[in-house]
Amino acid sequence: MSQTSRRYLHVSLACVPFVMMLVLTPFMNRTTPYVLGLPFLLFWIVLSVVMTSVCMFVVYQTDPANRDDADATTQVQS
């Protein structure tokens, strides 16, 4: 994966939580459909928090700087 495409992936994934929480939440402000026993807005907010964690995990795992630090730490401990 090239550096440009990796940066695009990171920025795109970092924008997902922002869009879910700030842009789409007013459009999801409904109480009638219940999902897993929760009003839809509460379910949407919980889903946004979970998606934030997933997106940041993917960004962390695909960032080459984090892999280099892990390799250096392993070499120091050995």
Instruction: Write the pLDDT tens digit of every residue in 31-45.
Output: 788 888 888 888 888
How would you classify residue 37: left for phi > 0, otherwise alpha for psi between -120 and 50, otherwise beta? left
pLDDT at 63 (0 to 100): 82
pTM of the model: 0.69
Q: Which amino acid is at 2?
A: S
Question: What mean pLDDT comes out for the span 55-62?
Answer: 87
Residue 58 to residues 13, 31, 42, 62, 67, Cα–Cα distance (Å): 8, 32, 25, 6, 13
Residue 58's pLDDT band (boundaries 50, 70, 90)?
confident
Please name the residue ranges forming H helices in 1-78.
Answer: 3-18, 40-62, 64-77
The SS3 of residue 35 is: strand
Location of structure tokens 């440009």: 4
pLDDT at 76 (0 to 100): 57
